[in-house]
Chain A
Amino acid sequence: AQTVTQSQPEMSVQEAETVTLSCTYDTSESNYYLFWYKQPPSRQMILVIRQEAYKQQNATENRFSVNFQKAAKSFSLKISDSQLGDTAMYFCAFMKHGGNTPLVFGKGTRLSVIA
């Protein structure tokens, strides 16, 4: 079974600074997908970024980028120029390639952006 570990329960960052959220996972699969989802307070979960394991290039979405280290089974999220609206729970998630497989989530990291 796959597991996802987020070792930082809470983090804080000053507005306009850069922060990195850590995620490691355990799997015997060679092909899979990794995701970062954001869940703002009292609002719905939204996709931040998606990475296919077969792609060596790290995914980026505006101020959000990942550092995908397949051999180390590490998938960290970097948020540049942090904004107050980035305050949220961030969940790292794994999905095996092929077949009807669910998302497996980590326990989340609560990020607070401070003015």
Chain B
Amino acid sequence: EAEVAQSPRYKITEKSQAVAFWCDPISGHATLYWYRQILGQGPELLVQFQDESVVDDSQLPKDRFSAERLKGVDSTLKIQPAELGDSAMYLCASSFHYQETQYFGPGTRLLVL
């Protein structure tokens, strides 16, 4: 069964360093989402791609976060510089179409010291 892949699974970094997360969606899925999940909370959308285009990044802190999906397949989420408050689980999800069911990857757990 096809799955969403994410790496790394865990990342520990120091404040002010740069970090990057990678996501490979299910093959053929045009829509890709990055969510942030703070411990004890539900996920919140950071950015949504339709193919290679950003369709919603209203909740992305653009002074430090960036996201790209250059060829409309895999995607990278970057944080520079990382802050203590960025410690969270970063989830990637994909769907065949933007109104279809979203399938989630295992997530990257980030700890900023």
The residues of A that contact B91 with a CB separation of less than 8 Å are: 45
Closest CB pairs A-B (n = 7): A105-B42, A102-B45, A45-B104, A100-B55, A44-B106, A100-B98, A91-B42
Asked if A107 meets B106 with Cβ closer than 8 Å, knowing A45-B91, A100-B56, A102-B33, the reply is no
Q: How many residues of A contact B (CB 8 A)?
A: 24
The answer to the question of B72 belonging to the interface, with a C-beta cut-off of 8 Å to chain A, is no
> Are B55 and A108 touching (Cβ within 8 A)?
no
The residues of A that contact B99 with a CB separation of less than 8 Å are: 33, 95, 97-98
Instruction: Name A92's closest neighbour in chain B (CB-CB).
Output: B42
Number of cross-chain contacts by CB at 8 Å: 51
Question: Which of B44, B91, B102, B105 has most chain A Cβ within 10 Å?
Answer: B102
A33 to B33, CA, bound (A): 17
The residues of B that contact A106 with a CB separation of less than 8 Å are: 42
Chain B contact residues, CB within 8 Å of chain A? 3-4, 31, 33, 40-45, 48, 50, 55-56, 91, 98-99, 101-107
The answer to the question of A111 belonging to the interface, with a C-beta cut-off of 8 Å to chain B, is no
Which secondary structure dominates where chain B touches chain A?
loop
Instruction: Name A43's closest neighbour in chain B (CB-CB).
Output: B106
The residues of A that contact B106 with a CB separation of less than 8 Å are: 43-44
> Are B103 and A105 touching (Cβ within 8 A)?
no
The residues of B that contact A45 with a CB separation of less than 8 Å are: 43, 91, 104
Mark each residue of chain A from 92 to 115: 1 if its CB lies under 8 Å from any CB of chain B, else 0: 010101111111011110000000
A103 to B50, CA, bound (A): 15
The answer to the question of A47 belonging to the interface, with a C-beta cut-off of 8 Å to chain B, is yes
Instruction: Name B102's closest neighbour in chain A (CB-CB).
Output: A103
Instruction: Name A108's closest neighbour in chain B (CB-CB).
Output: B42
Other-chain residue from A46, A100, A102, A108 in contact with B50 (beta carbon distance below 8 A): A100
